[in-house]
Structure 1
Amino acid sequence: MTDLIFNVENGVAKIILNRPDSLNAFSAEMIDLWIKALETVRDSDDIRVLVISGNGRGFCSGGDIKSMGRGEGFLQSDGTEDFSSTALARKNSLWKRVQRIPLLVKEIDKPVIAVLHGVAFGAGFDMTLACDIRIAAENTKISESYLNVGIVPGDGAAWFLPRFVGTDQALDLLWTRKVLTAKEAKDMGLVTYVVEDDKLEEFVEDYVQKLASGPQTVMRFTKRAVYQGLNIDLRSSLDMISSAMGIVTELEDYQEGVQAVLEKRKPNFK
Structure 2
Amino acid sequence: MKDLLFEVKDGIATITLNRPDSRNAFSLEMIRLWKESLEEVRDNDEIRVLVLTGNGIAFCAGGDVKSMKKGKGFVDLNEEVDKDFVSTGLKRKNSLWNYIQRIPLLMEEIDKPTIAAINGDAIGAGLDMALQCDLRFASDTARFGEGYVNVGIVPGDGGGYYLPRIIGIDKALDLLWTGRIIDSEEALKIGLVTRVCSHEALMDEVMAFANRLARGPQQAMRFTKRTVYQGLKTDLRTSLDMVSSFMGLVTEHPDYQEGLQAIIEKRKPKFN
For residue 231 of structure 2, what is the amino acid of its counterpart? Answer: G
Instruction: Tell me the equivalent position of 1:240.
Output: 242
State the Cα distance separating 1:167 from its structure 2 match: 2.0
Instruction: Tell me the equivalent position of 2:191.
Output: 189
What secondary structure is seen at the aligned counterpart in 1 of 2:45? coil
For residue 246 of structure 1, what is the amino acid of its counterpart? Answer: G
Q: For the Cα contact (< 8 Å) 2:118–2:139, is it kept in 1?
A: yes
Instruction: Tell me the equivalent position of 1:161.
Output: 163
Query: Aligned to 1:130, which of 113, 129, 132?
Result: 132
Instruction: Tell me the equivalent position of 2:123.
Output: 121
State the Cα distance separating 1:64 from its structure 2 match: 0.3
**Distance of aligned partners of 1:130 and 1:254 in 2 relative to their CA distance in 1, 3 Å threshold:** same
Matched, 1:18 2:18: yes
Q: For the Cα contact (< 8 Å) 1:28–1:79, is it kept in 2?
A: no
Instruction: Tell me the equivalent position of 1:205.
Output: 207
State the Cα distance separating 1:73 from its structure 2 match: 2.5
Instruction: Tell me the equivalent position of 1:256.
Output: 258
**Distance of aligned partners of 1:77 and 1:61 in 2 relative to their CA distance in 1, 3 Å threshold:** closer
Instruction: Tell me the equivalent position of 1:27.
Output: 27
For residue 24 of structure 1, what is the amino acid of its counterpart? Answer: N
What secondary structure is seen at the aligned counterpart in 2 of 1:134? strand
State the Cα distance separating 1:76 from its structure 2 match: 4.9
Query: Aligned to 2:227, which of 217, 225, 228?
Result: 225
Matches within 5 A, 1:99-114: 99-114=101-116
1-structure distance, mates of 2:15, 2:79: 19
For residue 50 of structure 2, what is the amino acid of its counterpart? Answer: L
State the Cα distance separating 1:128 from its structure 2 match: 1.1
Matches within 5 A, 1:89-100: 89-100=91-102
2-structure distance, mates of 1:168, 1:251: 43
State the Cα distance separating 1:86 from its structure 2 match: 1.1
**Distance of aligned partners of 1:80 and 1:34 in 2 relative to their CA distance in 1, 3 Å threshold:** farther
For residue 184 of structure 1, what is the amino acid of its counterpart? Answer: E
Q: For the Cα contact (< 8 Å) 1:29–1:79, is it kept in 2?
A: no
Give the CA RMSD over aligned residues.
1.4
Instruction: Tell me the equivalent position of 2:70.
Output: 70
2-structure distance, mates of 1:59, 1:77: 20
**Distance of aligned partners of 1:195 and 1:162 in 2 relative to their CA distance in 1, 3 Å threshold:** same
2-structure distance, mates of 1:265, 1:15: 34
For residue 211 of structure 2, what is the amino acid of its counterpart? Answer: Q
State the Cα distance separating 1:74 from its structure 2 match: 3.9
TM-score normalised by L of structure 2: 0.96
Q: For the Cα contact (< 8 Å) 1:19–1:25, is it kept in 2?
A: yes
State the Cα distance separating 1:51 from its structure 2 match: 0.5
For residue 120 of structure 1, what is the amino acid of its counterpart? Answer: A
| 1:238-262 deviation digits (Å, cap 9, x = unpaired) | 1111100011001110000000001
What secondary structure is seen at the aligned counterpart in 2 of 1:59? strand
For residue 26 of structure 1, what is the amino acid of its counterpart? Answer: F
| 1:46-84 deviation digits (Å, cap 9, x = unpaired) | 110010000001100110011112222345575645943
2-structure distance, mates of 1:93, 1:58: 25
Q: For the Cα contact (< 8 Å) 1:41–1:47, is it kept in 2?
A: yes
Gaps of 5+ in 1: none
2-structure distance, mates of 1:80, 1:112: 33
2-structure distance, mates of 1:65, 1:200: 28
2-structure distance, mates of 1:206, 1:200: 10
What secondary structure is seen at the aligned counterpart in 1 of 2:73? coil
| 1:23-52 deviation digits (Å, cap 9, x = unpaired) | 000000000000110011111111100100
Gaps of 5+ in 2: none
For residue 150 of structure 2, what is the amino acid of its counterpart? Answer: N
**Distance of aligned partners of 1:268 and 1:65 in 2 relative to their CA distance in 1, 3 Å threshold:** same
Number of positions where the alignment pairs a residue of Structure 1 with one of Structure 2: 270
